Amino acid sequence: MQIKDSFVINASQEKVWELLFDIPRLSKCVPGIESVEVVDEKTYRGKLVVKVGPIKSQFSGVVTLTEVEPPQHIAGSVEGDDKASASSVKAGFSGTLTSVAAGTEAAFVVDLNLRGRLAQFGGPVISATAKKMTAEFAKNLRAELEH
Amino acid sequence: MSIDFLEPTDFSEAMALLSEYGDDAKVIAGGTSVVLMLQQKLIAPNVLVSLGRIEGWDYVRLEPDGLHIGALTHLRDAERSPVLRQFCPALAYTFSVVGNVRVRNQATLGGNLSAADYAADPPAMLTVLGARARLLGPGGTREVPLSEFFLGFYTTALEPEEILTEVIIPVLPETARAAYFKYTSLSAEGRPCVAIGALADFDSDGKCKDLRIAVGAAVETPQRVESAEALAYGQTLTGELVAAISEEYARTLDTLSDVRGSAWYRKEMIRVFVKRALEEVRDGHR
Amino acid sequence: MAIGKSVPMLDALARVTGTLDYMINLRLPGMLVGKIVRSLAPHARLLKVDPTDALLVPGVVAILTGADLGENAFYGAAIKDQGVVAVDRVRYVGEPIAAIAAESEQAAEEAAMLLDVEYEELPAVFDAQEAIQPGTPVLHENYPNNIFIHSKLRHGDLQAAFAEADEIFEDTFTSPLAQQASLEPHVAAAQWDGNGLTMWTASQAPYMVRRVVAGILGVEEKSVRVIVPPLGGGYGGKGHIRIEPLVAAMARKTGGQPVKFVLSRAEEFVTVTKHAASITLKTGVKRDGTFTARQVTIYWNGGAYADASPLLVPQGMVRSVGPYRIPAVHVDSYGIYTNLPPAGAYRGAMSSQTTWAYESQMDIIARKMGWDPLEFRLKNLFVSGDQFATGEILHDVHFVECLEVSAKGLELSPSPGGRGVRGEGKRGLGYGVMMKSTVSTSKSQARMKLADDGTVTLFTSTVEMGQGAHTAMAQITAEALGLPVEMVRVVGPDTEVTPFDSITSASRSTNMMGNAVMATGAALTKRLIELAAPLLETPPEELRSENGHVVAEEASISFTDVLKRNGLDSLEELGEYATAFKVDPETGQGVSTPHWHQGAGAAEVDVDTETGRVTVLRYTAASFAGRVVNPRLAQLQNDGNVIFGLGPAVMEEIVLDGGQPTNPNLADYAIPSIRDIPAELVSVCIESEQGELHGIGEMTLPPVAPAIANAIEDAVGVRIKDLPITAEKVLRALREKSER
């Protein structure tokens, strides 16, 4: 399924780009991130916890960047699994930063493939969860940048 | 499976267990939600804190401030309670259409609300009746209006160690009319595609004094559209007005897609069933 | 006479009070819990399945992976392409990649999490018509266009016949992926004793299981014993080989400890499905209301492995023509590989999908040509003596009567009020008729043992799956011997004591096993009479059996006495009935079935034009039943078929996302409930005087979906060609119609 979202941060495009590649600061902003490790300049390994009501899953996975065009475009893929729920996630993503009057607009598209038991959740729950995580991520980014 | 099944005999014992085990524990009452999640392996607690042995919390009582329903009341008992049927026949009907009788014999009101399944029946109706949930926690008791209780998919205002103990429905005006519509698009015993709870009050001229309509199952949490309800105040519910209100509901609400219907279909069904609910409360068939 | 009596089902009380010993209750000393680990990817190279860490979990006894399997590791009804577990490649989400035997479910779960698996994903394909295009991923190298079977039927000069037509209709009808959804899932247990294996399994085909498992283990068939307890439903989903090879291999790997596997509901959806299908019918008709030609093209989505499809696709070919006189018929029936779970038989195998197509098109044709749908059918339905598209001459066919009885059923009683659904409800009537073959080549054997206390034990490998097969066999036994039914006990299946039977499916058992039982009974009666003759001083020709006695004009002697006075404590006989028919693989000409299954239905629906919701108000079903063994059970089967048929008609569909089922549970995969049953449901079994024992398990199911679609068109003028007929589809169609 496809997830599309965007948000605006009151900060310059360069500053936002810089933060996206500042792994220690960035990982504080991503909701549910439990660890992140830089393997090389295009590859990151990490653990992400996602909660939907009583259902908690912990995904261990790898993010691979395929396109990096500073300071406006980034694309790549994510592959991870949660052994406890026999589920895995595969996603391709693409994100763009644009300067706007109010600061910087960050827009992204994710092609998400959720497999295993968690896939029973279905579209509405997955997209709502993605929306919540995006909103929280945006909020955290703003807190980091807008002061 | 080696899950510990603990059976406290009162709520404070239950809360103490929740406090002790934290994330490893899950509350279970009738089990109709929890057992499915366990079977589907969506949750894996080490401890189940059963409320099954707690006595004295399955009741339906009419008190001066309204109808009090204990959280451990089985839906089947609520459905059949003469007090509840007298108080609000549409609410009794709402309970009666949950799943099937075998489910209702097991499921409790507290469990149903705490699970916050978007495709459930009681939430929309109770929300429209202005119901409040009483939550018991280590810090004491607090009340939350149901309109603020459902926060998202499977997510409620319950704090980690809180348990829902009672639902209170304020006294309804004598002249009030209520209706519940459960629309199932696939099997008749299935979960709803769209659920509509409606409450209306009219003066002796047939002009609307109060109108509340909550939509469930097509949206993440039960939703009212106050701008649409306001169209009715002081008016007679003509065919045109009914159409306008239902159109406003269909236009405003952000519907979801699942096996029971697409987002488009749900908007259409919201329009149809808000209309039917308005006609029902206006013409008073129930 | 025991045949023709509504004897209560033998295990009815046990079933209803929950005391029946289903497979799931089996407990053996030292029994281990089995768990299957499944692929998350729809198509991938399996680079690594390393159980090293998993084996360290306390309580884990053994883990089976592809590395344990040798050459015997592949099976399939005709094409042995399916591994006991995946070896180097996975081809569908849910495919077993390993199996674990542990002392507790928790240990098995922990081990599953520690299994070190590495995939290299490959592009996948899920749609059958896409899978046969050049450039799409190939699942099995031997089948480069993913077509693993192409069954052909060629009868008459098609082009010439189309040239004679006044109108030609071409329509495509689709059926989605669906699931048999028995209440009891697949369950199997096995124990290896060093030389052989005992297996308990919820299967419809014990001897098939024995043969295949023996092959997998590399032992003789007689070293494998298969026991089948009563099933909680089968519906074809347990009709071929499922988890048995895996369970057998696991049992051997544990070194002798028994192991039991119970599939979860979610696992059921990736174990066997009902073929998704796309069927195109090109039909030529003349203005005088007759047919000239029909060309059928069927794309069956077989899933990742051929499985039973090489047997089913040719059957689907024969079952796709329809019960009408059509001089020229060509059929191309393709079985296609895709990255989905293997598809198998589904109650009425292939007939639901095919009847949906041809009965829907009947009304499309009738309406366009201005003919009454009922009259159009009655004019063209086969009668005995007609020739079918396989060249065979039809005998004992009663399609006209089935349809007339169904239609009459709707006329006889007044239409009830709508069921509490307000809004503009429009009413309509629709019909469906179905024609189906049964298994053409099969064999059934029965063994009967008369004890000196007068009781008879029937040893049969026919499976009791809630259809009342054992009850029917008991009645047939009683009738064959001239005994009260109460004196008959039915045992089986257990391949150590019950003789061969091909399979319990395709509604073949009442006929095939029934005939075997009759033959056995006749043989046993003959022996009793021979033994009694000297005692009664009467020649055998003048004796008969009645009520547990051998009877002469003036005297009789009880079976018990016959035995005792001959110094026997028991008397045993074996009997058999078999058919061996076939059709030419290139032309489909020959004999495709020992007899034809015939069913019809008439539906009255109410369509709520505001929501599109369709309510079936009344339904009358009729099937030809030859000679009914048990009227009550036959009626329940017919009723049950209609209720079952409501599912694929209006609600059932596996929804996939990237080859992964997203609704593998009974909350989101809707099956008919008690409250979906029409307010009025009547079913009739039509018998014929010389009627032979006939199956009854499937006949009134396939007409349900097209009857409903036809009734909807009658009511509101919209035509739905893709199952299931959901309210949303009807509403969209209504909107499109009003926009035109």
Judged by phi (left if over 0) then psi (alpha if -120 to 50, else beta), residue C454 lies in: left
Q: Where are the extended beta strands (E) located within C542-613?
A: 544-546, 549-551, 556-558, 570-580, 597-608
- Least Cα distance to B213 among B261, B275, B159, B154 occurs for B275
Please answer whether residues C190 and C220 qualify as being in contact, where contact means their C-beta atoms are separated by less than 8 angstroms.
Answer: no
Mean pLDDT score, C548-568 = 93
pLDDT (0 to 100) of residue C688: 85
Give residue ranges of C with CB < 8 Å to any B CB.
104-106, 264-266, 422-423, 610-611, 613, 650-651, 653, 655, 662-663, 665, 667-676, 726-728, 731
The domains of chain C, with CATH numbers, are: 17-122+180-268 (3.90.1170.50), 273-439+585-739 (3.30.365.10), 441-580 (3.30.365.10)
Residues of C in contact with B40 (CB under 8 A): 264, 266, 665
End-to-end CA distance of chain B: 48
Instruction: Tell me the two tokens of residue A78.
Output: 């994510």
Q: How many percent of chain A have pLDDT more than 90?
A: 51
Which of B153, B161, B193, B257 to mutate to probe the A interface, most A CBs <10 Å?
Answer: B153
Phi, psi of C532 (to 5 degrees): -80, -30
| B 77-106 residues with CB < 8 A to C | 100
Q: How many percent of chain A have pLDDT more than 70?
A: 99
Residue in chain A closest to B41 (alpha carbons) equals A85
Please answer whether residues C179 and C648 qualify as being in contact, where contact means their C-beta atoms are separated by less than 8 angstroms.
Answer: no
Average pLDDT taken over every residue of chain B: 95
Sign of the C-alpha dihedral computed for residues C702, C705, C707 and C710 taken in this order:
negative
Give dist(CA A28, CA C279) in Å, integer.
55
Dump pLDDT digits (tens) for C633-685.
999 999 999 999 999 999 999 999 889 999 999 999 999 999 999 999 999 99
pLDDT (0 to 100) of residue C417: 54
Give dist(CA A27, CA A35) in Å, integer.
8
Please report, for chain B, how many H helices and E strands are present, in that order: 12, 14
Please report, for chain A, how many H helices and E strands are present, in that order: 3, 7
Give dist(CA A120, CA B179) in Å, integer.
32
Mean pLDDT score, C15-41 = 95
Mean pLDDT score, C130-137 = 97
Partner residue facing A53 (CB), from B23, B40, B153: B153
Phi, psi of C76 (to 5 degrees): 160, 150
Partner residue facing B1 (CB), from C106, C610, C672: C106
CB contact under 8 A, A132 and B40: no
Q: What is the 3-state secondary structure (H, E, C) of C108-174?
A: HHHHHHHCEEEEEECCCCCCHHHHCCCCCCCCCCCCCCCEEEEEEEEECCHHHHHHCCCEEEEEEEE
Helix (H) or strand (E) holding C63: strand C60-65
- Sequence-ordered alpha helix ranges (H) in C455-507: 469-481
Helix B263-283 crosses helix B239-252 at what angle (to 10 degrees)? Answer: 150
Judged by phi (left if over 0) then psi (alpha if -120 to 50, else beta), residue B256 lies in: beta
What one-letter code names the amino acid at C159?
Q
pLDDT (0 to 100) of residue C420: 39
Give dist(CA B29, CA B25) in Å, integer.
13
Which of B42, B118, B149, B158 to mutate to probe the A interface, most A CBs <10 Å?
Answer: B42
Please answer whether residues C342 and C82 qualify as being in contact, where contact means their C-beta atoms are separated by less than 8 angstroms.
Answer: yes
Dump pLDDT digits (tens) for B25-76.
999 999 999 998 888 888 889 999 999 999 999 999 999 999 999 999 999 9
Judged by phi (left if over 0) then psi (alpha if -120 to 50, else beta), residue C720 lies in: beta
CB contact under 8 A, C663 and A113: no
Instruction: Tell me the two tokens of residue B35.
Output: 């057992």
pLDDT > 80? residue B2: no
Partner residue facing A52 (CB), from B26, B40, B153: B153
Average pLDDT taken over every residue of chain C: 95
Tokens 């199996």 belong to residue: C99
User: Is C533 strand, coil or helix?
Assistant: helix
For residue B56, CA distances in Å to B69, B103, C639 come to 11, 21, 46
The domains of chain B, with CATH numbers, are: 4-50 (3.30.43.10), 60-170 (3.30.465.10), 177-283 (3.30.390.50)
Partner residue facing C665 (CB), from B40, B262, B272: B40
- Least Cα distance to C190 among C296, C31, C56, C50 occurs for C31
Mean pLDDT score, C393-415 = 88
Instruction: Tell me the two tokens of residue C447.
Output: 């063994």
Residues of C in contact with A58 (CB under 8 A): none
User: Is B232 strand, coil or helix?
Assistant: coil
pLDDT > 90? residue C695: no
* Contacting residues for C368 by C-beta, under 8 A, at least 6 apart: C167, C169
Please answer whether residues C648 and C724 qualify as being in contact, where contact means their C-beta atoms are separated by less than 8 angstroms.
Answer: yes
Give dist(CA C178, CA C346) in Å, integer.
9
Dump pLDDT digits (tens) for C414-442.
565 544 344 468 999 999 999 999 888 99
Which of B93, B101, B186, B265 to mutate to probe the C interface, most C CBs <10 Å?
Answer: B186
pLDDT (0 to 100) of residue C415: 60
Please answer whether residues A89 and A61 qualify as being in contact, where contact means their C-beta atoms are separated by less than 8 angstroms.
Answer: yes
Give dist(CA C433, CA C381) in Å, integer.
9
Chain centroid offset of residue C81 CA: 22
Q: Where are the extended beta strands (E) located within C248-290?
A: 259-262, 273-274, 276-285
Please answer whether residues B109 and B122 qualify as being in contact, where contact means their C-beta atoms are separated by less than 8 angstroms.
Answer: yes
What one-letter code names the amino acid at C671?
I
Sign of the C-alpha dihedral computed for residues B17, B18, B24 and B30 taken in this order:
positive
pLDDT (0 to 100) of residue C413: 58
pLDDT (0 to 100) of residue C304: 98
* Contacting residues for C535 by C-beta, under 8 A, at least 6 apart: C557, C561, C562, C565
Instruction: Tell me the two tokens of residue B67.
Output: 């109808």
- The nearest CA of chain A is from the CA of B126 a distance in Å of 21
User: Is A78 strand, coil or helix?
Assistant: strand
For residue B30, CA distances in Å to B74, B75, C132 come to 8, 10, 51
Give dist(CA C466, CA C683) in Å, integer.
19
How many Cα atoms within 13 Å fall on the side-chain side of residue B173?
Answer: 11
End-to-end CA distance of chain C: 63
Mean pLDDT score, A13-42 = 89
Give dist(CA C525, CA C513) in Å, integer.
18
Partner residue facing C662 (CB), from A81, A88, A119: A119
Residues of C in contact with B268 (CB under 8 A): 611, 731
The domains of chain A, with CATH numbers, are: 2-145 (3.30.530.20)
- Least Cα distance to C46 among C15, C71, C26, C69 occurs for C69
Instruction: Tell me the two tokens of residue B205.
Output: 């001229």
Chain centroid offset of residue A132 CA: 12
Residues of A in contact with B26 (CB under 8 A): 54
How many residues comprise chain C? 740
Dump pLDDT digits (tens) for C316-350.
999 999 999 999 999 999 999 999 999 999 998 99
Q: Which residues pair with C65 in a beta bridge?
A: C98
ipTM: 0.95
What one-letter code names the amino acid at C597?
H
DSSP 8-state assignment for residue C54: H
Tokens 């396989």 belong to residue: C390
| DSSP letters spanning B1-12 | ---EEE--SSHH
Residues of C in contact with B262 (CB under 8 A): 728
Give residue ranges of A with CB < 8 Å to any C CB.
1, 81, 83-84, 86-88, 113-117, 119-120, 122-123
Tokens 């266009």 belong to residue: C145
What one-letter code names the amino acid at C332?
D
Give residue ranges of B with CB < 8 Å to any A CB.
23, 26, 37, 40-44, 116, 118, 152-155, 220, 256-259
Mean pLDDT score, B196-222 = 96
- The nearest CA of chain C is from the CA of A33 a distance in Å of 21
Dump pLDDT digits (tens) for A47-104.
999 988 888 899 999 999 999 999 999 999 999 999 888 899 999 999 999 999 999 9
Dump pLDDT digits (tens) for C272-290.
999 999 999 999 999 999 9
Tokens 């002061």 belong to residue: A147
Q: Which residues pair with C226 in a beta bridge?
A: C199
Q: Structure pTM?
A: 0.95
Partner residue facing C658 (CB), from A84, A87, A113: A113
Partner residue facing C731 (CB), from B2, B189, B268: B268
For residue B173, CA distances in Å to B78, B226, C311, C345 come to 21, 20, 69, 59
CB contact under 8 A, A115 and C665: no
Chain centroid offset of residue C633 CA: 18
Q: What is the 3-state secondary structure (H, E, C) of C562-573?
A: HHHHCCCCEEEE
- Burial zone of A55 (CB within 10 Å; 0-12 exposed, 13-18 middle, 19+ buried): buried
Please answer whether residues C30 and C268 qualify as being in contact, where contact means their C-beta atoms are separated by less than 8 angstroms.
Answer: no
User: Is C242 strand, coil or helix?
Assistant: coil
> Virtual CA dihedral for B8, B13, B16, B17, nearest 10 degrees?
0
Please answer whether residues C534 and C584 qualify as being in contact, where contact means their C-beta atoms are separated by less than 8 angstroms.
Answer: no
- Sequence-ordered alpha helix ranges (H) in chain A: 13-20, 23-29, 123-145
